[in-house]
């Protein structure tokens, strides 16, 4: 299985690449070894799933057709269909050291964010109350 890491925008283009970039708005990227993405696409097996993941390991995209991926600031690894976990969906899984695993959900962080959102809403409503004739009155917002 192939694994190409850390794609960045190609800064030194060949004359042909420059013309394609200018005339057709084509972008060129290369892996950390300096090999062009369009060249690397041909090295993948046709029946494998190509997985694009970011620097944190979050899987961004996956497809059997490598030409449907554009891994700028990402990496690409291929897997046999039999190695893909049940329920696999890009965005809900991570890749690390050869393993695809579900994203670990931090329920405490989600609950804290929801609490903070609600507190902000209530605080905004309370601040819209105005002081009138010695009493607090809610202005209907």
Residue 110's pLDDT is: 83
Collect all residues with Cβ–Cβ distance below 8 Å to 21 and sequence separation of at least 6: 13, 27, 28
pTM (predicted TM-score): 0.72
State yes or no: pLDDT of 141 exceeds 60.
Answer: no
**Is the separation of the CB atoms in 23 and 56 below 8 Å?**
no
pLDDT-wise least confident of 74-88, 95-109, 120-134 = 120-134
State yes or no: pLDDT of 91 exceeds 60.
Answer: yes
Instruction: Record the tokens describing residue 75, joined without a space.
Output: 């990496």
Residue for token pair 């300096």: 34
**Any idea what DSSP says for residue 126?**
H
State yes or no: pLDDT of 138 exceeds 90.
Answer: no
**Is the separation of the CB atoms in 32 and 5 below 8 Å?**
yes
State yes or no: pLDDT of 136 exceeds 90.
Answer: no
**Is the separation of the CB atoms in 93 and 103 below 8 Å?**
yes
Euclidean distance between CA atoms 104 and 99, whole angstroms? 14
Region for residue 133 given its phi and psi (left: phi exceeds 0; alpha: psi -120 to 50; beta: otherwise): left
């Amino acid at each position: 299985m192939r694994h190409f890491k850390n794609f960045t925008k190609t800064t030194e283009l060949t004359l042909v690449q420059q013309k394609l970039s200018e005339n057709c708005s084509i972008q060129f990227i290369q892996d950390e070894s300096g090999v062009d993405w369009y060249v690397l696409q041909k090295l993948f097996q046709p029946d494998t799933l190509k997985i694009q993941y970011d620097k944190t390991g979050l899987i961004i995209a996956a497809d059997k057709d490598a030409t449907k991926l554009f891994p700028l600031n990402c990496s690409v690894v291929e897997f046999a269909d039999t190695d893909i976990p049940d329920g696999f969906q890009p965005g809900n899984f991570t890749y690390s050291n050869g393993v695809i695993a579900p994203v670990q959900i931090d329920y405490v962080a989600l609950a804290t964010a929801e609490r903070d959102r609600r507190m902000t809403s209530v605080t905004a409503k309370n601040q819209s109350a105005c002081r009138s004739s010695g009493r607090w009155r809610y202005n209907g917002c």
